[in-house]
Amino acid sequence: MRGRVFKRCGCRDPETGKKFNSDCPKLPRSDHGSWWFVHDVPPGPDGRRRRTTGGPFSTETAAGDALTDSLSETRDGRRPEDAELTVVRYLDDWLAGKASLARSTRYSYEEHIRLYLRPGLGHLRLVDLRDHHVEKLYATVVLIGRESPSSKPSPLLARLLEVRRDDPARRRPLSPTTLRRVHATLMSALNSAVKRRKLRHNPAEHVELPKARRVRPLVWTAPRVAAWQRTGARPSPVMVWTPRQAGAFLDFVSGDRLYPLWHLIAHRGLRRGEAVALGWTEVDFEDDSIYILDNLPGSRADTDDPDLDIYEDPKSEGSHRTISLDDTTGEVLTTWQSQQDEERALYRGAWNDTGRVFTHPDGNELTADGVSQRFERLITRFATIRREHTEHDWSIEQLAARHRMLADAIESALEFGPLPPIRLHDLRRTAASLTYRATRDLKIVSELLGHASVHFTGDVYTSVFADADRAAAKAAAEIVPRRRPPRTAPPTPPPARNNPQDDQFGIDGLRADDPGLDL
């Protein structure tokens, strides 16, 4: 294939108004015009000759190097039209071609492209994408939610904020976890571009991501609750209720329409997306089991914390699992099914039969975000009721009417005491704690939660299971019968130095080397 470099400018002939291009008389000057290259490419479908052009370049050498690269890429099979392919157009084509993606994965890819990659890199030509473009995007992404109201955002930050304008929840500071997921999406797309010969290498391959310390869940013990009441600060972004606290919450929400959902997550450890996606076809009342086959994604991750990398469980084949139901949970779901049938009859033709277990009253699907927000409001309401009772001396009946709740629920909140906050995702950790208390078997807990490995469960949940292990140690000690409480021997004084032979003796006057002394 033939190619050449040439110089041209934008000057026009004063008489005709046409551009001089390569015929400008000023081109011999080194400070006038710019360098370009042109070369042939394979003929199109009609067999006609085709050429591609590149530039501008500041020097003839740069244009020559670019010509060499372009010729090499053409020989490797890159199509001429790829030279003008933008990042956003490529990402759209790439995602459209991945027909076998799981719904949750597709949703995540769409979110990453829409919120980060399209506004951050979409305007660039794919062949022009470099590592510094990606690094600049990531450095700007971490400013979301931290931007100064007194300063004007950069054009890149302004584009990132514009796509979030109508959704305040997406303007929160982002965690390193979220950034790594965005990077994984970009890496997958660009690796595909390399395989399809649209790129010679992946420009994002060696981009370094910010690091963060990992955090593990902590239990809301009495001292931690007391400190939270004084300061309002959580000891950790990931907090777990004790069984007693979980029971107080379930008593409080016993009259809530979605009580069966809260009950199921608290007792059997479903992820919020798994609970929302659960269909009646996956509930087997005869076998007292439910089958987890799907996960409905949410638009905002529960893990988004500005400075921490929440130690979350990975999604794996273990996420597809069978969960046994206890008698109480089975009865709760049976009653809920009857209630849903009544709602179906009330709405008649307006009922939308989605087949989901948990729905709106008209049958429409719930969203993972909506469920999380409702959970947070219920915890806030718990605290509000206690505060209103203290400040205004309102009766249980007044509070029940004001908040449209059962009097028993109000009474349970007033009797229990303060209920510290957790995320909905952490409610399933309570299920892990309950199961471990009952079984002392990490494998059973790991399978219940759908973790990738038992090692992961033990690593993450060590602090959550500590109280159960202490209880087990106490129970084990109580098994050994004793006639009197254990006591220790009095301290042994140092040997007297006036008799050298005293150093040869140990306890109760026995020689330390006496064969009858078992040290």
CATH number of 218-474: 1.10.443.10
What is the C-alpha to C-alpha distance for residues 216 and 244, in angstroms, rounded to an integer?
21
Q: How many residues does the chain have?
A: 519
Mean pLDDT computed over 388-415: 93
pLDDT of residue 360: 95
Q: Which residue has the tokens 């059973």?
A: 444
What is the C-alpha to C-alpha distance for residues 396 and 413, in angstroms, rounded to an integer?
10
Element (H, E) at 54: strand 50-57
Joined tokens for residue 476: 């084990």
Long-range Cβ contacts of 225-229 (<8 Å, 24+ apart): 225/418, 225/420, 228/420, 229/418
* Residue-wise pLDDT tens digits, 452-471: 778 777 766 666 666 666 66
Mean of pLDDT over the chain: 83
**Residue 214 β-bridge partners:** 309
Chain centroid to CA 83: how far? 36
Per-residue exposure over 279-298, b if at least 16 CB sit within 10 Å of its own CB, e if not = eeebbeeeeeebbbebbbbb
pLDDT of residue 256: 94
386 residue type, one letter: R
Element (H, E) at 50: strand 50-57
Strand 321-324 relative to strand 289-292, pairing: antiparallel
Mean pLDDT computed over 99-111: 84
Where do the domains of the chain lie? 3-82, 87-195, 218-474
pLDDT of residue 481: 72
Q: Which of 39-43, 294-298, 431-435 shows the lowest mean pLDDT across its residues?
A: 294-298
What is the C-alpha to C-alpha distance for residues 186 and 270, in angstroms, rounded to an integer?
30
pLDDT of residue 342: 95
- Entry pTM: 0.65
Per-residue pLDDT at 75 exceeds 80: no
* Residue-wise pLDDT tens digits, 325-368: 999 999 999 999 999 999 999 998 899 999 999 999 999 999 88
Mean pLDDT computed over 239-246: 91
Joined tokens for residue 245: 């606290």
pLDDT tier, 178 (very low <50, low <70, confident <90, very high otherwise): confident
Mean pLDDT computed over 392-402: 93
- In order, the DSSP letters of 209-235 are PPP--EE--EE--HHHHHHHHHH---S
Per-residue pLDDT at 439 exceeds 90: no
Per-residue pLDDT at 186 exceeds 80: yes
At 305 the three-state DSSP class reads: coil
Q: Describe the crossing of helices 424-439 and 243-252 by its angle, rounded to 10 degrees.
A: 130
